[in-house]
Chains A and B, each alone.
Chain A
Amino acid sequence: MTQGVIEGGWEYVWAAYAVTWTALVGYTLYLWRQRRLADDELRATGEDERS
């Protein structure tokens, strides 16, 4: 049970925010890469169709 005010603890706050930002930016980059790969795959099958 906590009584009164917890002193400081900013390192936990920074850690939580760092995790949040890392996850969001990381997933953004992951999606960007997956988008590239998928578009390349589509282009590859498309070209083979037309040849």
Chain B
Amino acid sequence: MNNAAENTAASMSVARTPSTTTERERPRLGLLRATFGIIAKDFLLEWRGRARINATIFFAVLTLLLFSFAVGPHHAILEQNAPGYLWLAIMLASVMSLGESQRVEAENAALEGLRLLALDPRAIYLGKSIVNMLFLMALALVLVPVSIALYGTTIRAGMGPLFSPLLLGTAAISAPGTLYAAIAVQARARDVLLPLLLFPILIPGLLAAVKATSLVLTGDPMGELVSWTMLLGAFNVVYWILCGLLFGRVIEE
């Protein structure tokens, strides 16, 4: 009757630790189920505190404010550059958000616990990067109305088309960001190391996201949006796969 639940419970209470035999331990949970497990765990943790998302949103809104002060009350310039400010704010805030996601694991050796469950590291990676992406997406959705207020942007094509560059852009940040955060949290000078490592390789993603967002906001007379969306898509495909494959080496003992 409850065979599925029993199986899951049985497999999650591990009796054996990973042995040193040459035969590879098959992961107990399927990739999808393990991924959902990680996603649920991280969401639950965040919901209990809500500290991360609050702090991140405040920081990002503050950044948008700083941009308008730095540039000055030149409405035309502000409106024109609004997509750039938006994505810069997301990128800067992502450093806080990504770092926090990994700190949760570093405290109390929680990552060790995950490892002992013989979870496929790809599941851990997928789960964490999806959660990171969703957090950044939530942040982006909050920042859009703030940008409209601060910079006077108008959304000519409607909110629907805006969804695509926001999703692809936050996914692009999350894919390498999750892996780099896992490294940085275990290294010295972690707060400096994460942006130093992450930002250079995000530049093509940043370019594409800003261009795509800009085209959605101000109209796309020459049909360039497709190309930029495809570039973002390609970036995502490459990095989600690559980082998924490499993540296991990053968190191994």
Do A and B share a direct contact in the complex (Cβ within 8 angstroms)? no
A-side residues, CB < 8 A to B, are none
